[in-house]
Amino acid sequence: MKLLLIILLIISLILESSITTIPLILLVLLVSTVVLRDDTVFLLAFIFGILLDILTFKTVGVSSIFFTFLVFLILIYEKKFEINTPSFIIFSTLLSSILFLIFFQRGNVIIQSLVSTVISLILFAVFKKLNYKRQEND
C-alpha cells in the first residue's frame, strides 16, 4: 500500500508541477492519512512539499509546512471525530484546498476546490477498497 502511495504522490507531483493547478499532492496526502493512519505520511508530506516547491519555483518549505500541518491536524482529530467517512473527506478537502489555493495560487479557488473534493472522494473509495482487501489478506 505504501508503494502505491509513493507512486501516486510521484504522479501527482509531476501533474501538479506541470499540467494542473489542482492540489493533487494535498488530496493524496489527505486521503492516505485518513485511510492508513500511519506516521510515515508525515515524512512523505514533508518530502513531497519540498519537491513541489522546488519544481514550481516557490519558496522552499512553504508547501511542506502546510502539508505536514494538515497531516498533523487530521491525526489529532482522529480521536475526536470519525475521520474515516465521506463527509469528513468532503469537509476537510474543501477547507484545506480552499486554504491551499488562497495561500499559493489565487485563481478559480471555488471551482478547483469543488473538483478537488470530487477527486478526493474517488481516491477515498479506491484507497478504502484497497486497504480493506489488504486487511483481508493479512
99-116 pLDDT, tens per residue? 999 998 777 899 999 999
**Residues 6 or more apart from 112 whose CB is under 8 A from it?**
21, 22, 23, 97, 101, 105
Question: If we measure between CA atoms, which residue out of 66, 34, 36, 38 comes closest to residue 50?
Answer: 66
Question: If we measure between CA atoms, which residue out of 21, 20, 22, 62 comes closest to residue 45?
Answer: 62
pTM, entire model? 0.91
133 in a domain, yes or no?
no
How many domains is the chain partitioned into structurally? Answer: 1
Domain residues for the domain of 46 are 2-128
23 in a domain, yes or no?
yes
100 in a domain, yes or no?
yes
Q: Cα–Cα distances in Å, from 10 out to 39, 51, 109?
A: 19, 10, 24
46 in a domain, yes or no?
yes
81 in a domain, yes or no?
yes
59-90 pLDDT, tens per residue? 999 999 999 999 999 988 887 878 888 999 99
